[in-house]
Amino acid sequence: MCGIVGFTGTREAAPVLIDGLRRLEYRGYDSAGVAVSDGGTVNMAKVKGYVKNLSEITHDGADLKGRIGIGHTRWATHGAPNDVNAHPHLSSDGRFAVVHNGIIENYALLRQELTGRGYKFASDTDTEVVAHLLELYYDGDAKRAVMRTAARLEGSYSLGVLCSDGRLFAMREQSPLILGLGVGENYFASDVAALVPHTKNVIYLDDGEFAELTPDSVTVYDVLGRAVEKPVSRVTWDVEAAEKGGYEHFMLKEIMEQPACFKATVEPRIKDGRIVFENFDLTDEELHGINRVIITACGSASYAGQVGRYIMEELCRIPVSVELASELRYRNPIIDKHTMLIVISQSGETADTIAAMRECKARGARVLAIVNVVGSTIAKLADHVIYTWAGPEIAVATTKGYTTQVAVLDMLAIYLADRLGLMEKERYDRLVDALHAMPGQIQRAIDLNRNIGRLAKKFCRHNAIYFIGRNLDYAVCMEGALKLKEISYIFAEAYAAGELKHGTIALVEEGSLVIALACYEPLFDKTMSNIEEVKARGAEVLAVALEGSRKILSKADDVIFVPRTEPVFNPIAQVVPLQLFAYYVARERGCDIDKPKNLAKSVTVE
């Protein structure tokens, strides 16, 4: 939800900022803008739409002179996505320019107060109050104005503040903000993706902190303005990881990266045939004290949790529920110290997930986070973290983020079952061997479906697509349907196949498309019956089945085959062709695959 960048150095700032915004565009693409200065006038350009529009009107930034600057790419919350509401926003006297990610929750009151003091508002945004407050509190010292302004703000923000006297500030409260340390130049950004082209040395700001940047120094302050020593971290991936590398879209690249990402997530955690987690060290007593597991997350991460639930209950014999974070946080949940909360998040910054986690932690739950982004808020707040080493994920619709989350959940279930004394050695060894084989199986799932574009062409004009399955198949249906709807805009929904008769089958008619997942073998025959039922009502059936399954050929109109793996790992291989199917359907329909309408990758507002 919105990306911000800042730069100070001896070269022109605008081209650097625009390049940074391009790398953050996954966070929102309603408008883009930059403000730069050399100390004196602030030069600004902002425009509705993609960063490329900004690039066009400024000739890649060449028209804007100034070596200090801030930039923004927007996902609109307050005010329509237009030029006027685009950031940066200026104070009335033009002294301050501000970019913001988050929501200023008390903006209405502040706006009223400032209007009463004679300030004129140019936009409908919550952000503009920040610019006017800075002006109100400026007494010749921009740092003091920043601190006084911060004291008035409620809500979440990462803010970039450019003062026309040449000073540059970055402030953080419940929204991500990272400082980049260069040589003779320094930067800030919402995500390291915008920093890695310049530096791998970064500082993660904490809530309540702010920083002043000059070309030669970065000083971090606490809320009272006292300098704080911060550790410098090294980013472990290269700039190429966040580029398309010859693929038409990030999404396709990220689908293809899945064998390698699975390997990176799993292999380092298998030592001498045993699963070992680097930061999950429960004593036996603590472990046996857990009487239930709650998995909480949003979007695809919650669907990864659905897969995890089936596997964990099956292997660990412990009750597991999956709760949408946006619901859990407001439900007065019944939780105590015997609850283990598993929080799943690619970005580690999803606002609802963070709030649910805080709520449950306050009630005594032990929190284990499965997160991709190092140093993110969720990673910081959790008691234990297991990182998914998927590398930077840029496409808004997650693929490798999801499969690596499932990979961690698989490993966790095996690990816990073993520690609880519920797994025989032979089965443990077989599963660990199967984990080693999975990168090859994921690759096979890709290779078996090289011609899936043909099926996409055949089915891309449907208005509604029903996904059905049972048990693990049902869990995968949820992700398959979400992938399709978010990037192709086709109505798609997952249904537990056994529930069809209780309503949904009323929608099935001649020519309806049903995607039936039939990989969960214990219930294969039941799913076959459901396939018969929808076919009897005229539906076309595209089945997803295990390689070698013959019976399916006589029932389904088309079949997507996936390799046979250990049954608990089937979802990982199964989801891959569904990702590819969604990708090619969206492509056939001419959709903007990496930047679907109305969505953003990192949902840092409620």
Question: For binding to ligand G6P (CB under 6 A), which residues are involved?
Answer: 298-301, 345-347, 350, 353, 396-398, 599, 601-603
CB of 306 to ligand G6P, least distance (A): 12
Amino acid occupying residue 23: R
174 DSSP assignment: B
Between the CA of residue 550 and those of 12, 341, 473, 520, what are the distances in Å? 64, 41, 18, 15
Cβ proximity of 575 and 546 under 8 Å:
no
CB closer to ligand G6P, 332 vs 598: 598
Give the nearer residue to ligand G6P in terms of CB position, either 288 or 597. Answer: 597
Query: Which is nearer to ligand G6P, 36 or 603 (by Cβ)?
Result: 603
Give min distance, CB of 163 to ligand G6P, in A. 33
Q: Output 296 or 570, the one with its CB closest to ligand G6P.
A: 296
Please tell me what DSSP assigns to residue 141. -
Least Å distance between CB 385 and ligand G6P? Answer: 14
Instruction: Give residues with Cβ within 8 angstroms of 165, minimum separation 6.
Output: 39, 95, 142
Contact 172, 104 (CB under 8 A): no
Q: Least distance from C-beta 537 to ligand G6P, angstroms?
A: 33
Do 180 and 165 touch, CB atoms closer than 8 A?
Answer: no
Report the 3 state secondary structure along 541-570. Answer: EEEEEECCCCHHHHHCCEEEEECCCCHHHH
Alpha carbon dihedral 167, 168, 170, 171, in 10-degree steps, equals 30
Q: Which two tokens stand for residue 221?
A: 């302050």
* CB of 255 or CB of 545, closer to ligand G6P: 255
β-strand partners of 517: 544
Asked whether 400 and 258 are in contact (CB, 8 A), the reply is: yes
139: three-class secondary structure by DSSP: coil
Smallest gap from Cβ 361 to ligand G6P, in A, equals 17
What is the rounded distance in angstroms from the CA atom of residue 579 to the CA atom of residue 598? 20
Taking the C-alpha atoms of residue 257 and residue 268, their distance in angstroms, rounded to an integer, is 17
CB of 199 to ligand G6P, least distance (A): 24
Q: How far is the CB of 450 from ligand G6P (least distance, A)?
A: 25
No. of helices (H) and no. of strands (E), the chain: 19, 27
CB atoms near residue 230 (< 10 Å):
17
CB closer to ligand G6P out of 398 and 530:
398
CA distance 117 to 305: 51
Locate the DSSP E strands across 317-458. 320-324, 339-345, 366-371, 384-387
Dist. CA 489–CA 118, nearest whole Å? 46
Among residues 297 and 413, whose Cβ is nearest to ligand G6P?
Answer: 297
Bond from prior residue into 88 cis (ω within 30 degrees of 0): yes
The partner residues of 295 in beta bridges, in order of sequence, read 322, 342
Residue 330 and residue 393: Cα distance in Å, rounded? 30
Query: Minimum distance between the CB of residue 218 and ligand G6P, rounded to whole angstroms?
Result: 27
Question: Of the listed 2, 298, 316, 519, which one is catalytic?
Answer: 2
Tokens of 68: 């200090």
With DSSP H G I counted as helix, E B as strand and the rest as coil, what are the percentages for the chain, rounded to 5? 40, 25, 35
User: Would you say 185 or 486 has its CB closer to ligand G6P?
Assistant: 486
The CB-of-266 to ligand G6P minimum distance in angstroms stands at: 19
Tokens 């600057």: give the residue: 69
Active-site entry in 263, 400, 485, 601: 601
Residue 206 DSSP class: P
Residue 601 annotated among the catalytic residues of the structure: yes
CA–CA gap between residue 104 and residue 124 (Å, rounded): 13
| Active site annotation includes 244 | no
Q: Specify the residue, 294 or 397, whose C-beta has the smaller distance to ligand G6P.
A: 397
Active-site residue list: 2, 601
